């Protein structure tokens, strides 16, 4: 069967990411295409990453004349897991174009899993709920044979005689090594490389070594893999690294797992094989503070090439961490940060403000922890209620007419909380400028006490210190005005 794959992430519709110029290929889409191709189907890819409108699909439909059009969003990228309305509207437009050309339309994404009725109402014939490859494979076989009994296909939603049918949940794939490698040959890598080199001076690619996360942070939506955690073998991961190195000559890898190397002994085995194969590359991962307090684990990360660990720190207030069901402590954040720095790995923090019941004292504790530990980088967001989470159930009655962000820089607090949305937008700017100010202080300290440790970035931070001092004072005064007006 002739199948045209696409995805609904248009970087142009996400101004912050378009300016940042650090795009990653749609890994989940490439994996799904590889599964269908291995089963004998003819597959092609329309990559929307650098397109500027959904109408760009039409010439591809005319060129390939597919029987199936599959929008398969990347479940390994936080940008697609955020369910942005700009991308949803683009998906709807592509569905309608494909239907107009006589295609059967199948959609698989975090957003369509949560809002399948909306996608079915806008032209999709089937929505895959949960992990998609095996469901897509079974569904495609039935369509190819001309069958119409879809009720026994697990993990889908579809319309039948004006009713929406939702079938039983499908179990996730446990033996990930049985999957073919993603269909990297379908992607035009040139625009990805060009943008990375222009923006960052190196070329980064993405890979996945695991699926799912067993932890139960109550704000974290898991519509695709649930609380399962399954892992590829270190050997297969290294084999793919070798292939990608030869094919694309990357400099850096983002391992896009929710939690990297959770399985006991996995990181050590991975590090051993990387060293045995003499692969030279740098990489970044996402992890948790309670994993990073194990020195052997951190040492193995370092010797395998890990450059940066993004830690879900979230808050410097233990009260807020406990309310989130995070399962970590502030002291673990401190210890993990020190261990990473000791082994030459750069810690980076994800921070989340605006959680239900957060007070100014909780915010101050977070800022104080940030100033104390000075990670290499930070990502600041506000609490984002997504369907299927305990947090969503707590605040859904207070949602103020908006249930999704428009783009990744929206950061609008969508429920009633201690302070209004304007306060948190101002807080976002203040935290960044305050953090950069303290980074500048640290650079000046190194200049006078340990000049041998100085890197080019330290000189820039030191030079910008005065700017960030003045900016921080301005942002703090604005925060105070909003806080007083609201209280």
- The predicted-structure confidence for 164-181, as pLDDT tens digits, reads as follows 999 999 999 999 999 999
**pLDDT > 70 fraction of the chain, expressed in percent and rounded:** 98
Average pLDDT score over residue span 421-448: 86
Please determine, for residue 486, whether its predicted confidence score (pLDDT) is greater than 70.
no
Segment holding 439, helix H or strand E: helix 421-449
Return the domain boundaries, the chain: 2-166
pLDDT band at 401 (very low <50, low <70, confident <90, very high): low
**pLDDT > 90 fraction of the chain, expressed in percent and rounded:** 77
Higher pLDDT, 327 or 389: 327
Q: Is the CB of residue 317 less than 8 Å from the CB of residue 366?
A: yes
Range in 205-214, 220-229, 275-284 with the lowest mean pLDDT: 220-229
Please determine, for residue 465, whether its predicted confidence score (pLDDT) is greater than 90.
no
Tell me the CB-side half-sphere exposure of residue 123, using CA atoms within 13 A.
21
Please tell me the distance from the alpha carbon of residue 483 to that of residue 209, in angstroms, as a whole number: 44
**Measured torsion, CA atoms of residues 426, 432, 434, 435, in degrees rounded to the nearest 10:** 160
Higher pLDDT, 449 or 381: 381
pLDDT single digits (tens) 406-429: 988 888 888 888 888 889 999 999
pLDDT band at 442 (very low <50, low <70, confident <90, very high): confident
Please determine, for residue 209, whether its predicted confidence score (pLDDT) is greater than 70.
yes
pLDDT band at 79 (very low <50, low <70, confident <90, very high): confident
For residues 203-229, one letter each, b for 16 or more C-beta atoms within 10 angstroms of the residue's C-beta and e for the rest, the string is: bbbbbbbbbbbebebbbbbbbbbbebb
Please tell me the distance from the alpha carbon of residue 362 to that of residue 315, in angstroms, as a whole number: 8
Which pLDDT belongs to residue 386? 83
Average pLDDT score over residue span 307-329: 97
Which pLDDT belongs to residue 411? 83
Which pLDDT belongs to residue 72? 98
Which pLDDT belongs to residue 215? 94
- Cα dist from 370 to 19, 355, 443, whole Å: 26, 18, 16
Higher pLDDT, 439 or 183: 183
Average pLDDT score over residue span 256-268: 96
For residues 96-116, one letter each, b for 16 or more C-beta atoms within 10 angstroms of the residue's C-beta and e for the rest, the string is: ebbbeeebbbbbbbbbbbbbb
Which pLDDT belongs to residue 400? 65
Which pLDDT belongs to residue 405? 86
Average pLDDT score over residue span 90-106: 98
Radius of gyration (C-alpha) of the chain in whole angstroms? 23
Average pLDDT score over residue span 387-414: 84
The β-bridge relationship of strands 229-231 and 210-212 is antiparallel
Please determine, for residue 16, whether its predicted confidence score (pLDDT) is greater than 60.
yes
Please tell me the distance from the alpha carbon of residue 287 to that of residue 382, in angstroms, as a whole number: 19
Range in 320-329, 367-376, 475-484 with the lowest mean pLDDT: 475-484
Please determine, for residue 312, whether its predicted confidence score (pLDDT) is greater than 90.
yes
On average, the pLDDT of the chain sits at 93
- Cα dist from 446 to 22, 37, 192, 275, 420, whole Å: 30, 55, 36, 33, 40
Q: Could you report how far apart the first and last alpha carbons of the chain are, in Å?
A: 62
> 2-166 — its CATH code?
3.40.50.280
Q: Across-strand partners of 284?
A: 254, 308
Average pLDDT score over residue span 306-319: 98
Determine phi and psi for 462, rounding to 5 degrees: -65, -40
Average pLDDT score over residue span 272-284: 97
Please determine, for residue 484, whether its predicted confidence score (pLDDT) is greater than 80.
no
Which pLDDT belongs to residue 441? 76
Which pLDDT belongs to residue 485? 67
Higher pLDDT, 119 or 80: 119
Which pLDDT belongs to residue 141? 96
Tell me the CB-side half-sphere exposure of residue 219, using CA atoms within 13 A.
21
Which pLDDT belongs to residue 362? 96
Count CB atoms within 10 A of the CB of residue 147.
Answer: 12
Q: Is the CB of residue 1 less than 8 Å from the CB of residue 42?
A: yes
Please determine, for residue 487, whether its predicted confidence score (pLDDT) is greater than 60.
no
pLDDT band at 145 (very low <50, low <70, confident <90, very high): very high
Average pLDDT score over residue span 228-244: 97
Determine phi and psi for 196, rounding to 5 degrees: -65, -45
Higher pLDDT, 150 or 454: 150
């Amino acid at each position: 069967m002739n199948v045209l794959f696409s995805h609904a992430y248009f970087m142009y519709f996400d101004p912050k990411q378009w300016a940042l110029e650090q795009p990653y290929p749609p890994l989940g889409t490439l994996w799904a295409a590889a599964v269908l191709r291995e089963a004998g189907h003819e597959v092609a890819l329309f990559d929307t990453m650098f397109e500027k409108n959904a109408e760009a699909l039409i010439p591809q439909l005319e060129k390939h004349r597919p029987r199936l059009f599959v929008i398969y969003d990347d479940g390994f990228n936080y940008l697609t897991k955020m369910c942005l309305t700009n991308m949803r509207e683009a998906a709807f437009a592509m569905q309608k174009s494909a239907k107009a050309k006589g295609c059967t339309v199948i959609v698989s994404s975090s957003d369509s899993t949560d809002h399948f009725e909306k996608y079915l109402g806008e032209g999709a014939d089937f929505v895959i709920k949960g992990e998609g490859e095996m469901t897509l494979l079974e569904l495609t076989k039935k369509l190819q044979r001309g069958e119409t009994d879809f009720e026994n296909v697990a993990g889908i939603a579809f319309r039948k005689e004006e009713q929406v049918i939702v079938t039983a949940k499908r179990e996730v794939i446990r033996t990930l090594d049985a999957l073919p490698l993603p269909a990297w040959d379908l992607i035009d890598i040139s625009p990805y490389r060009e943008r990375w080199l222009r923006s960052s001076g190196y070329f980064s690619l993405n890979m996945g070594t695991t699926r799912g996360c067993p932890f139960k942070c109550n704000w974290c939506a898991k519509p695709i893999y649930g609380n399962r955690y399954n892992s590829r073998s270190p050997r297969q991961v290294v084999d793919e690294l070798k292939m990608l190195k030869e094919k694309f000559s990357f400099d850096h890898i983002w391992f896009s797992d929710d939690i990297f190397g959770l399985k006991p002994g996995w990181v050590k085995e991975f590090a051993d094989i990387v060293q045995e194969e003499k692969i030279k590359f740098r990489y970044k991962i996402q992890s948790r503070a309670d994993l990073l307090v194990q020195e052997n684990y951190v040492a193995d990360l370092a010797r395998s090439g890990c450059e940066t660990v993004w830690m879900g720190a979230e808050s410097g207030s233990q009260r807020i961490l406990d309310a989130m069901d995070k399962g970590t402590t502030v002291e673990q954040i401190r210890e993990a940060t020190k261990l990473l720095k000791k082994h030459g790995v750069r810690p980076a923090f994800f921070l989340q403000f605006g959680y239900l019941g957060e007070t100014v004292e909780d915010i101050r504790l977070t800022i104080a922890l940030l100033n104390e530990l000075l990670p290499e980088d930070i990502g600041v967001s506000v609490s984002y209620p997504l369907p299927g989470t305990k947090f969503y159930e707590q605040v859904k009655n207070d949602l103020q007419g908006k249930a999704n962000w428009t783009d990744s820089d929206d950061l609008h607090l969508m429920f009633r909380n201690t302070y209004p949305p304007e306060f948190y937008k101002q807080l976002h700017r203040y935290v960044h400028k305050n953090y950069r100010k303290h980074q500048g202080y640290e650079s000046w300290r190194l200049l006078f006490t340990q000049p041998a440790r100085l890197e080019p970035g330290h000189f820039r931070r030191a030079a910008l210190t005065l700017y960030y001092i003045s900016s921080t004072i301005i942002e703090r005064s604005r925060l105070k005005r909003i806080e007083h007006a609201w209280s």
